[in-house]
Amino acid sequence: MSKLEDIELPSQEEQKPYSDATIKDFSNETIKKYMKYRSDISYTVPSKELWTFFRKNRYLVKGDKGDVPTLAGIVLFGKDPSIFIPEHRILAECFGGTPENGASTDKTIGNGKKNITGPLFEMTKTAEDFYKTHIRKVPLIKGFQRVDEELEYPKEVIREAIVNALVHRDYRLGGHISFQIFRDRIVIKNPGSILRPNTIERMNSFDVTPARRNPIIAEAAEKMMLMEKKGRGIPDMSDQLQKYGLRPPNFAYDGYLIVTLYGREKTPPEYRIQKEFRSSLTDRQLKILNFIWEQGRVNSEETTKKFDITRETANQDFRKLLKLGLIEKKGTGRATYYILGNI
């Protein structure tokens, strides 16, 4: 268990009042949507009772000339939060290539660039719609069989990553949230450090301690069912990705918290086959699949050298993988080689 002094306290920035803003800068439509999720309360929008509730929840504070929205109130319910908080936006971009092949971050494809702002609830929906528009569909694998095509990444993971960026970013820092779609991965960056006692190492092992930089914003997002319960978001992201046959997410930090979700192109075959079917394969057969994935194509000779096995043993493994449709055979005779099947 972490020592008390090792736990980072929440930021007070979300309680900061914006004296230039008034309750007229709130979106009544967004407040009504929020109220639909709150079966425990019922207020007319707008009403004195509602504003009293907002003050209790620190979306408003009393000022010299009336109620003044806080940063949390503006982020959650503001008609146009960027008027008061310019950094409260998501720059969403879609690129045709990959970082390794020199995909230029100056050149998006199609209508693949969008500045997203507004109340947090709407920003999440707009970012999710951007994802659905620009991501490709791929055949999902159930066992060893192809099923209907689906979007390459589970939308629940995209939503969780976007909401986490909006909720946990450090609003004391300038800079916007970045949502970049590449051919083989999605990269989401948000300003702010990792809240102690969590570390990059702990996040990449999915052993996280629930910690919230902006608990007021986080609680509202949770009430609107945009977030998982405390401490479950990151582990659930990993589980959801693996159900889609994708590798777990990767976390890094360079002044921004960086979340990378890898697509099928960057996911080893061992993740693409559901757990309950992997037991029918030997460890070596799984390694042969990964070897083919790494090399693009392999033949019997390369396989025997790589795994120190006989040609007959290699051919037995190839026959098993061919029967299951996990690889394809190309060429004839001494020119025979193997590539991955459609997994």
The domain spanning residue 167 has which CATH number?
Answer: 3.30.565.60
184 lies in the same domain as 126 = yes
Q: Total structural domains in the chain?
A: 3
260 lies in the same domain as 173 = yes
Residue 78 lies in a domain: no
DSSP string computed for 268-295: -HHHHS-HHHHTTS-HHHHHHHHHHHHH
Q: Residue 18's pLDDT band (boundaries 50, 70, 90)?
A: very high
237 lies in the same domain as 97 = yes
Which of the pair, 144 or 20, is modelled with greater confidence?
20
CATH of the domain at 298: 1.10.10.10
Q: Residue 164's pLDDT band (boundaries 50, 70, 90)?
A: very high
255 lies in the same domain as 290 = no
Both tokens of residue 24? 């007229």
DSSP state of 59: S
Strand order in the sheet with 185-191: 113-116, 90-94, 177-181, 185-191, 256-262, 250-253
Q: Residue 165's pLDDT band (boundaries 50, 70, 90)?
A: very high
Residue 166: pLDDT above 90?
yes
Both tokens of residue 190? 């948000």
* Whether 139 contacts 146, CB under 8 Å: yes
Q: Residue 4's pLDDT band (boundaries 50, 70, 90)?
A: very low
Number of H helices, E strands in the chain: 13, 12
Which of the residue ranges 30-44, 144-158, 170-184, 207-221 would you say has the lowest mean pLDDT? 144-158
Region 280-302: mean pLDDT is 94
Domain boundary among 267, 296, 329: 267
Q: Residue 140's pLDDT band (boundaries 50, 70, 90)?
A: low
Which of the residue ranges 46-55, 57-66, 94-103 would you say has the lowest mean pLDDT? 94-103
Considering the chain, what percentage of its residues have pLDDT values greater than 70?
91
Q: Residue 308's pLDDT band (boundaries 50, 70, 90)?
A: very high
Domain boundaries, position 115: 83-267
Predicted TM-score (pTM) of the model is 0.86
pLDDT tens for each residue of 170-214 = 999 889 999 999 999 999 999 998 888 889 999 999 888 888 899
Task: Give the model's pLDDT for residue 64.
Answer: 83
Q: Residue 103's pLDDT band (boundaries 50, 70, 90)?
A: low
> Across the strands, what pairs with 252?
258
Task: Give the model's pLDDT for residue 2.
Answer: 47
Domain boundary among 221, 240, 267: 267
Place of tokens 């929205």: 69
Closest among 147, 146, 115 to 130, alpha carbons compared: 115
16 lies in the same domain as 88 = no
Domain boundary among 33, 50, 71: 71
pLDDT tens for each residue of 212-265 = 899 999 999 999 988 766 556 788 898 899 888 899 999 999 989 999 999 988
* Whether 78 contacts 166, CB under 8 Å: no
Q: Residue 147's pLDDT band (boundaries 50, 70, 90)?
A: low
Closest among 193, 197, 165 to 178, alpha carbons compared: 165
Residue 76 lies in a domain: no
Q: Are strands 90-94 and 177-181 parallel, antiparallel or unpaired?
A: parallel
Task: Round to whole Å and give the CA distance between 337 and 333.
Answer: 9
Which range has the top average pLDDT, 55-69, 87-101, 142-156, 262-276? Answer: 55-69
Residue 301: pLDDT above 50?
yes
Angle between helix 283-295 and helix 311-323 axes, rounded to 10 deg: 80
93 lies in the same domain as 26 = no
